[in-house]
Amino acid sequence: MTHRTRIMPIAAAAVAVGLPALVGCSSDSEPTQDEIAAKCLPALKERPGGDGSKPAECEGLTDDNYTMLIMSVAMDDLGWFDDDGHLDLPTTAP
C-alpha cells in the first residue's frame, strides 16, 4: 500500500511561504530572496549532473535557502514527487 501525503514540493513551499519570512527588510535596488530563488531554481535544474558549482543566478541567496533549493531539485530528480507535486513514497506494511 502506498501512503500519499499531499504537500507542495519543497521549492514551491520555500518560495511561496518560507523565503518571504527570511527576507526581512531590503532596499528596492537589491533583489529579494524570492527573486533570486526564482532565477536560481531553473539554473540548478539545468546544470549538468555531477556539477556541484553554485550557479551565478544563485549568488545572494542565504546558505539555508540555497540548500533548500538543492534538496528540492535532488528530491524531484529521485522521483519523490508525482506530476502534481504530491509526495509519493511507498511505505512498508507493519
Confidence of residue 91 (pLDDT cuts 50, 70, 90): confident
Percent of the chain with pLDDT strictly greater than 90: 47
- Choose between 24 and 58: higher pLDDT: 58
Instruction: Taking residues 52-81, report their average pLDDT.
Output: 94
Nearest Cα neighbor of 35 from 67, 60, 8 is: 60
Residue with the three cell numbers 519570512: 21
Residue 44: per-residue pLDDT: 96
Stretch (H or E) spanning 2: strand 2-5
pLDDT, one tens digit per residue, over 2-43 is 444 444 455 455 455 455 555 555 556 899 999 999 999 999
* 66 neighbors 39 (Cβ within 8 angstroms): no
Alpha carbons 22 and 62: distance in angstroms, whole number: 9
